[in-house]
Structure 1
């Protein structure tokens, strides 16, 4: 059985100033929405993960408006929500147990950001034995300053993370290709 796992698609991840100077893939949330709607229409399992930052300055800190799910991917009643305070969707949650109890063997992962919670969760899901498909344009990255003081663009970070995860931890597809294959 295949399930959709939406990770940290929260309003606060629109606040570029907190996370860097730029964000790749501004259409990530729209692509997450498209995939979510198809899963709902096909009555396939959907799971949401919410990051509750432990840093009071973070837009994702509980009680701040940025902690809320993005309007395009609001959970509906029967869709479970798992709350976490670390990068992995599987640490400190019952996500793995929920997947196993529903006989889920394949995860389609979308969400934010690829250099943090997506990469960590994809790697862990693969290590736990799930077959993972990561949707490349349904995630995004922020620019980073390296240990050497060099600024790496959000697009370089995004593409590097995809390259690191490809084949060893996940099959990588874009939204259009994934949805076309899902319909066949």
Structure 2
């Protein structure tokens, strides 16, 4: 086995937040499912990663019940689910050990949020020597408020603020930053067929 698919933070925590109404790819589970099916058919390792914030009382606190793979997706027997507490999927988990033991040389990454945990995992994987494939259309993200916007802004206020960075701009920036430096950008269609 030389490749692994990392499914990062495709979890119900995001659907439980009001910001979900502004997600750029509401059908992300369909895109991820196609990648998972293709990876399984190829005999690649599939690893699921979930973000947790224990003790916070947020939707990322395991006690909330939302820290689980999104409905419509399910890890198969033998596919590990790792829990992380930071942006990248390597720090604080045994991901690198699992990849090394399995003889993995390349990783394909998908999930939520495009510019945050998925991009950060791609950068760290590249620094660790893995060949990284970033499947943008199997990621999802949200508009990002200006750093000086009030933290308690509603979704409507966020979207009305002209300083808000659109999800489309976030995705474009991520692709520009990664392509040719940290990862190869590919589509679900290229990897899983049309």
TM-score (norm 1): 0.90
Residue 16 (structure 1) shift:
4.6
Q: Is the 8 A contact 2:10 2:112 kept in 1?
A: yes
> Deviations along 1:93-131, whole A, 9 cap, x unmatched?
110011011110010111111121111100000000000
SS at match of 1:146: coil
Q: Is residue 14 of structure 2 the alignment partner of residue 13 of structure 1? A: yes
CA RMSD of aligned residues (A): 1.9
Aligned-partner Cα distance in 2 for 1:98–1:5: 12
Q: Is residue 167 of structure 2 the alignment partner of residue 161 of structure 1? A: no
Output aligned runs, 1:51-130, within 5 Å. 51-54=51-54, 56-130=56-130
Query: What corresponds to 1:175 in structure 2?
Result: 188
Gaps of 5+ in 1: none
Aligned-partner Cα distance in 2 for 1:34–1:63: 30
> Max radius of gyration: which structure?
2
Query: What corresponds to 2:46 in structure 1?
Result: 46
Aligned-partner Cα distance in 1 for 2:99–2:13: 27
How many correspondences in the alignment? 180
SS at match of 1:67: coil
Residue 35 (structure 1) shift:
0.8
Query: What corresponds to 1:25 in structure 2?
Result: 25
Residue 42 (structure 1) shift:
2.8
Moved over 3 A (4+): none
SS at match of 2:177: helix
Deviates more, 1:60-69 or 1:111-120: 60-69
Q: Is the 8 A contact 1:51 1:84 kept in 2?
A: yes
Q: Is the 8 A contact 1:53 1:61 kept in 2?
A: yes
Gaps of 5+ in 2: 150-162
Q: Is the 8 A contact 1:33 1:73 kept in 2?
A: yes
